[in-house]
Amino acid sequence: MEEMPDPVKTSEDAQRYNPAEIEPRWQARWDADPALYAAEDPTSGKPKYYCLEMLPYPSGQLHIGHVRNYAIGDALARFMWMRGANVLHPMGWDAFGLPAENAALKNNVPPREWTLSNIAAMKKQFRRLGMSFDWSREITTCLPDYYRWNQWFFLKMFRAGLAYRKKSKVNWCPVCCTVLANEQVVNGRCWRHEDTLVEQRDLTQWFFRITRYADELLAGLDTLDGWPEKVRTMQRNWIGRSEGAEVTFPVHNCPDSMSVTVFTTRVDTIFGATSLQLAPEHPLIQHWTSFDMELAPAVEQMIAQQTAARESGDLGAIEKHGIPTGRSATNPFTGEQIPIWVANYILADYGTGAIMSVPAHDERDFDFATKYNLPIRRVVAPNLDTDDLALPYLAEEEGVLIDSGEWTGEPCLEAQGKMAAFAEAQGFGKATVTYRLKDWGVSRQRYWGTPIPMVYCDCSPDEPIPVEESSLPILLPEQIHITQEGGSPLGRVPEFVNTTCPRCDGPAKRETDTMDTFVDSSWYFYRYTDAHNDQAPFNSDRANYWFPIDQYIGGVEHAILHLIYSRFWTRVMRDLTGPDGQPLIRNSEPAARLFTQGMVIKDGAKMSKSRGNVVSPDLMIDRYGADATRMYALFAAPPDRDLDWQEDGVAGISRFLARIYRLATKYAALSQAEDRQAIPEDRSTQSSESVRLLRALHQTIGKITQDFSGRWHFNTSISSIMILVNEIVASEPAMDAGRISPPVIVETLQSLTQMIAPFAPFLAAELWQELNGNGVVFRHPWPSASEFWAHEDEVEIPIQVNGKLVTVLRIADGADEPALKAAALADEKVAARIAGKSLVKTIVVPGKLVNLVVK
RNA sequence: GCCCGGAUGGUGAAAUCGGCAGACACAGCGGACUUAAAAUCCGCAGACCAGAAACGGUCGUGGGGGUUCAAGUCCCCCUCCGGGCACCA
């Protein structure tokens, strides 16, 4: 910061805050002391607290959003240590992924080398920021000691039927040259390339059966009180549970006794069904088009149009249209024959890919029937006597069935249950539940990921063979030539592909796809509890001690990626047994509390290289120091809100820290003379200035302690510290004149140092030493707020007349209603305001206000 | 279309349970110190009206209505912004 050479330190200079000198000095001391932030054993007897921020991708540089994320978690971790908890605060690297391969293509650096050097650079930044991570538990997901457990889990899941292979339509990103999970497709585009449309390809891929846990994942959301409602809502929408019924309609006059099964949430309206609508990709349609030379081109054209619309992103704008197939099916409830259509708005992969169309009671069916002149038949009404009703009539809660055979007169909701049961009894349907959630596609046609531990052998032509657990890890070959053509890069490494079959010992070929990187992050936080275990992913006792995570902190962008996958994985592990036959873990949810911090923006816009508004953390630290940078990130806005980065604000925080530094060093000598001693709670022993200072101090302690336990509005925590510092500055004359005793000054400055410790750890460590504090400030017990000293003798009571403020009176605390009323009426301004009017009502809220209502 | 957030001075924001709107900062303006500047310290500061000034008045938390002695806060309607989901049967 200060470039000027200044070999001779004057006493003036000694009091100048110089983070460029302080911070590296403490950083070196902390780096040399790995025990400082190490979690203790369960035997410590302290309450455990697992504080975790989402691990970063090692891109090579922390950005300012990271600084904010980790400043929040670091403040919390330090606070919990000071409150006496056994804190686990680990860090690691989400180190597999495409950028490493892209860098390899571009700069000809091996992905491993690129990734590891990025990690080293970012670790340096973390240390420079003074983050309190327990580096002894560091994990790096691209190293075999980590990813071998991905493979281990994969084998367990394969055996449990949770990992399986199927051919299906999958999302393909032409830039990444790989398949993407549904969760990685945003508005039809790749989550990594917002300009790149995702294509649909038919491929055989590995899936994890997340749908088996769909109901549990949904129900579990209700138990997550400590999660933001927003995230819970997003997950509910993503899972998209829909209760309804399936009904099978036999195709009329069909030699092969074919049928169409539809999914509907309104089986009660089935008497109003006037057609069936099938997705163009529906197997039955595909069957007919194989020989129906009239239908085939029309359906083909429909699919082509759909594909085009999907790729241009305006699927919603495309007009709904259909093609009659010329075939019909029998409604099993009525025996009636209704026509079968192909319609472009029916999704092949939702429900059964076929619906029954009830124009009278569904908006879209109504539009469709109107367009094609299909009959519209009313079967629901508010009551049996309604004969004039605007259609479509959508109500189901207050509706009853009409013209529906034996169900006529039944309320809709009851009819739904009864009719589904009837269908099941008759063998042509059943009540069922459909989800929007699909199984998680985990195969990636890329190199830099965990190899999938399966082999293909002629001895088992239909079923891939899992490798032996003892042969793990299946190592990712290094020094390979990476290209983006011709499928998975591993397929071009014969030493990798060619292996022996674990079943027949004959020659076999390995799976050459790798796992989605979200696999790595689905369980990484368990590994921290036992990071060096080479016998198991982790020891169950250790995981059970630390889990669930007490506080998880990260960006909301993972609401339906990482945060749903890891909830799934937690349940899978709970249902797997470890080597001792016990469940691997006991908890069903990974994190008791989740906090999603807001984005850091600049000049009202998201930071991006193309906008040229990226703020570099290193530059901020160079100019103002790590403490000021971190503290500003917490001060500028409440942590859940977006934060607009203003460099002037960082400078302001730096000035504030400099003021603290000046005060603490100025009076440091006082603390050298005597040990800190408890201030007896007795006002008679203290000057009025001391009482005033102690009051400000204890009010601040109370405020910050409360902020940490509840709202996390660190912006107001820091502003209350500023108020305290302003009060200390105002007390300086009294301190210098000896009217405030040294023990009070020392108490105040040491407590102040403790209170800034979660936010500005370097300065806190420096001042704790200057002030002769005991031990390490981050482990020193958090100061407790004294009610006695915080108490105000007089409170300001606003006096209103007809709800308008007239004056503010200082009145003794605890004054009762009559006293407050009398004081208000005795005031000159009040008297002037109510002169000539009659007092009709007096509202007195003791300790709050007086409102005189006059006419 | 549906579901979540949000809107307060020039700026970031505060007001935690219906009780003084704008704490604390940033930027700004004025002053002290200084040969000067930086740094530091002190002071002013929602808008409008009136006034030499002190003092005073009116309006004011996206807009409209309501409840209440009292509304940024509660209720109803609307606008705009951000985010999520979306031919989901």
pLDDT tens track for A319-359 = 788 999 999 999 999 999 999 999 998 988 889 999 999 99
Answer for A847: CB within 7 Å of strand B: no
Q: Is the CB of A846 under 7 A from strand B?
A: no
d(CA A563, CA A590) in angstroms, rounded, equals 9
**DSSP letters spanning A223-264:** T-TBS-HHHHHHHHHHH--EEEEEEEEEBTT-TT--EEEEEE
Average pLDDT estimate for A152-164: 96
Higher pLDDT among residues A705 and A601, named by residue: A705
What is the complex's ipTM, to 2 decimals? 0.94
Mean local confidence (pLDDT), A649-678:
88
Same domain, A677 and A783: yes
pLDDT tens-digit series, residues A106-151: 888 899 999 999 999 999 999 999 999 999 999 999 999 999 999 9
Closest residue by Cα to residue A525 from A583, A571, A587, A590: A590
Q: Is A214 exposed, middle or buried (0-12, 13-18, 19+ CB in 10 A)?
A: buried
In a domain, A181, yes or no: yes
Residue A315 has a pLDDT of 59
pLDDT tens digits for A213-225? 999 999 999 888 8
CATH number at residue A374: 3.90.740.10
**Strand B atom within 7 Å of A279 CB:** yes
Q: Helix A626-635 and helix A19-31: axis angle, to 10°? A: 100
A242 touches strand B (CB under 7 A): yes
Handedness of CA A637, A640, A644, A646 (dihedral sign): positive
3-state secondary structure A47-116: CEEEEEECCCCCCCCCCHHHHHHHHHHHHHHHHHHHCCCEEECCCEECCCCHHHHHHHHHHCCCHHHHHH
A686 contacts A789 by C-beta, under 8 angstroms: no
Q: Which two tokens stand for residue A684?
A: 């008679």
Provide, in whole angstroms, the distance separating residue A605's CA from nucleotide B81's C1': 13
Of A3-12, A597-606, A741-750, the least confident: A3-12
Residue nearest to nucleotide B11 (CA to C1'): A646
A543: tokens are 């995981």
Nearest to A619 by CA among A230, A64, A177, A174: A64
Do A703 and A769 reside in the same domain of the chain? yes
To the nearest 10 degrees (0 to 180), the angle between helices A229-239 and A214-221 is: 160
Do A732 and A739 contact (CB within 8 A), yes or no?
no
Count of CB atoms situated within 10 Å of the CB of A302: 20
Residues A102-106: what's their mean pLDDT? 84
Query: Which residues constitute the domain of residue A715?
Result: 647-790
A14 CA, B31 C1': Å apart: 29
Q: Please give the Cα distance from A371 to A321 (Å, whole number).
A: 9
Nearest to A485 by CA among A174, A170, A168: A174
- A375, A402, A434 — which closes off a domain? A434
Q: Measure A844 CA to B57 C1' (Å).
A: 27
Average pLDDT over residues A389-401: 82
Assess if residue A91 is contained within a domain: no
- Same domain? A155 vs A278: no
Which whole number is the average pLDDT over A535-552? Answer: 95
The model's confidence at residue A677, banded by pLDDT at 50, 70 and 90, is: confident
Considering only residues 99-158 of chain A, list those whose CB is below 7 Å from strand B.
none
Domain C-terminal end among A434, A454, A475: A434
Q: DSSP alpha helices (H): ranges in A257-312?
A: 283-289, 295-312
Percent pLDDT > 90 in chain A is 62
* Residues A200 and A281 both lie in one domain: no
Out of A245-259, A461-475, A622-636, which region has the weakest mean confidence (pLDDT)? A245-259
pLDDT digits (tens, 9 = 90+) for A722-775: 999 999 999 999 999 999 999 999 999 999 999 999 999 999 999 999 998 889
CA A823 to C1' B58, whole Å: 28
Q: Residue A50 pLDDT more than 60?
A: yes
- In this predicted structure, the answer to whether residue A399 has a pLDDT above a threshold of 90 is no
Residue A36: per-residue pLDDT: 95
* Count of structural domains, chain A: 4
- Give the distance, in angstroms, between residue A237 CA and nucleotide B3 C1': 8
Q: Are residues A744 and A798 in the same domain?
A: no
For residue A98, the one-letter residue type is L
A351 touches strand B (CB under 7 A): yes
Closest nucleotide (C1' vs CA) to A796 is B20
Structure-token pair, residue A659: 């003021």
A246 pLDDT tier (thresholds 50, 70, 90): very high
Instruction: Centre a 10 Å sphere on the Cβ of residue A14 and count the other Cβ atoms it contains.
Output: 9
Helices assigned H by DSSP within A737-795: 742-756, 761-770, 787-790
CB of residue A165 closer than 7 A to nucleic acid strand B? no
Asked if A716 CB < 7 A from strand B, the reply is yes
Q: What is the pLDDT of residue A614?
A: 83
In a domain, A255, yes or no: yes
- Kindly state whether residue A549 falls inside one of the protein's structural domains: no
Q: A416 beta carbon < 7 A from strand B?
A: no
3-state helix, strand, coil in chain A (%, to 5): 45, 20, 40
The two three-digit tokens of residue A691, written as one number: 């009482």
CB A530 within 8 A of CB A543: yes
Is A31 within 7 A of strand B by CB distance? no
Query: d(Cα A140, Cα A143) in Å, to the nearest integer?
Result: 6
pLDDT at position A559, please?
A: 83
Query: Using one digit for the tens of pLDDT, what is the confidence trace for A690-720?
Result: 999 999 999 999 999 999 987 788 999 999 9
Question: At a CB cut-off of 8 Å and minimum separation 6, what does A685 contact?
Answer: none
Position A7 scores a pLDDT of 33
Task: State the pLDDT confidence band at A312, using cuts at 50, 70 and 90.
Answer: low
Same domain flag for A383 and A481: no
CATH number at residue A717: 1.10.730.10
Proximity of residue A834 CB to strand B below 7 A: no
* Amino acid in position A169: K
Distance A6 CA to B86 C1' (A): 65
Instruction: Examine residue A174 and state whether it is found in any structural domain, yes or no.
Output: yes
Cis peptide before A489 (omega within 30 of 0): no
Query: Which sign does the torsion angle of CA A405, A406, A410, A414 carry?
Result: negative
What distance in Å separates the CA atoms of residue A209 and residue A705, rounded to the nearest whole number? 45
Average pLDDT over chain A, rounded to an integer? 89
A639, A597 Cβ separation under 8 angstroms: yes
Q: Is residue A380 part of a domain?
A: yes
Domain of residue A843, CATH code? 3.10.20.590
Q: Do the domain assignments include residue A502?
A: yes
* CA A670 / C1′ B44 distance in Å: 37
Query: Is there contact between A186 and strand B, defined as CB under 7 Å from any strand atom?
Result: yes
For A564-613, the DSSP string reads: HHHHHHHHHHHHSB-TTSSBS-S-SSSBSBEEEEPPEEETTEE--TTTT-
SS3 annotation, A506-555: CEEEECCCEECHHHHHHHHHHHHHHCCCCCCCCCHHHHHHHCCECEEEEE
Q: Looking at the structure, tell me whether residues A414 and A478 fall in a common domain.
A: no
Q: How confident is residue A316, by pLDDT bands cut at 50, 70 and 90?
A: low
The fraction of chain A above a pLDDT of 70, given in percent, is 96
Residue A762 is assigned to a structural domain of this protein: yes
Are residues A712 and A667 located together in one domain of the fold?
yes
Please give the C-alpha separations between residue A416 and each of A396, A403, A430, A434, in angstroms, as whole numbers: 10, 15, 11, 16
A700-CA/B60-C1' distance, Å: 32
- 3-state secondary structure at position A382: coil
- Residue A717 CB neighbour total at 10 angstroms: 25
In this structure, the answer to whether residues A176 and A199 fall within a common structural domain is: yes
In this structure, the answer to whether residues A820 and A671 fall within a common structural domain is no
pLDDT at A178: 82
| Domain end (from A500, A517, A534) | A517
Nearest to A42 by CA among A676, A529, A482: A529
pLDDT of A395 strictly over 90? no
In this prediction, residue A317 carries a pLDDT of 62
Has residue A79 got a pLDDT over 90?
yes
Judgement on whether residues A803 and A780 belong to the same structural domain of the protein: no
Q: Are residues A709 and A770 in the same domain?
A: yes
Q: Which nucleotide is nearest to A319 (CA to C1')?
A: B87
If we measure between CA atoms, which residue out of A259, A315, A306, A251 comes closest to residue A279? A306
Q: Tell which strand B nucleotides have any atom below 7 Å from a protein Cβ.
A: 3-5, 11-16, 19-21, 23-27, 39-42, 56, 69-71, 83-89
Q: For residue A304, say whether its CB is under 7 Å from any atom of strand B.
A: no
The torsion defined by the Cα of A369, A370, A374 and A377, in degrees rounded to 10, comes to 80
Residues A565-590 pLDDT 10s: 999 999 999 999 877 788 999 999 99
